[in-house]
Amino acid sequence: MIAVDIRSYRVVGRMPGPVVITYLELPADAPLLAPSRPAPEGFSTRVVRDPAVNRDLYRSVGGAYQWVDRLPWSDERWAEHAGRVETHVVELGGRTAGYWELELDGADSAKIGLFGLLGEFHGIGLGGHALTAALARGRELRPRVWLTTCTLDGPYALPNYRARGMVPFRTATVPAVGPVIAS
């Protein structure tokens, strides 16, 4: 588990605006495209059922991307959330590298509600394999899998989603609200 103290966050400015949200899907009839490179040695994923893991990874992975909505959640709220999503931890050589949360949002659809890697694991080919695992698991549960990304996410996010065969089906532009935080 990665411990993050919310009190260590500080406001460092205002978000640039606006924020563009892109909704992407892997439609039921579309192939899931695996990365061309082999997975890094020691890559694995595992299911966890511990709200503290969801909370800690939300803070540690999301801190660089302004994931702020859940920062004030109570332990009870985290427990309720963790009970309704399927959480997978991404590991490399036994070290936590990131995670994703998968939720069923309809009879034909699964949503990857959160997906991300810790910064030290960016750019080594891990994200494509982690996303492939997330999409494959979603496909085991429902024919269509979707997620959102936005202009606050890292530079590898949208290209990775598209490289796996996901296609945009909607965009939205929203005003930037709230402070920019840093730990």
**What digits encode the pLDDT tens for the residues 58-104?**
999 998 888 888 999 999 999 999 999 999 999 999 999 999 999 99
The pLDDT value recorded for residue 12 is 41
Q: How far apart are CA 181 and CA 170, in angstroms?
A: 28
Percent composition of the chain: helix, strand, coil (DSSP 3-state, to 5)? 30, 35, 35
State which residues of the chain have pLDDT below 70. Answer: 1-16, 177-183
Locus of tokens 């949503």: 111
The pLDDT value recorded for residue 7 is 45
3-state secondary structure of 104: strand
**Domains of the chain, CATH where assigned:** 9-182 (3.40.630.30)
Cβ atoms of residues 102 and 141 within 8 Å: yes
Q: How far apart are CA 155 and CA 164, in angstroms?
A: 16
Q: How far is CA 157 from CA 13, 131, 148, 166, in A?
A: 24, 10, 10, 12
The pLDDT value recorded for residue 9 is 44
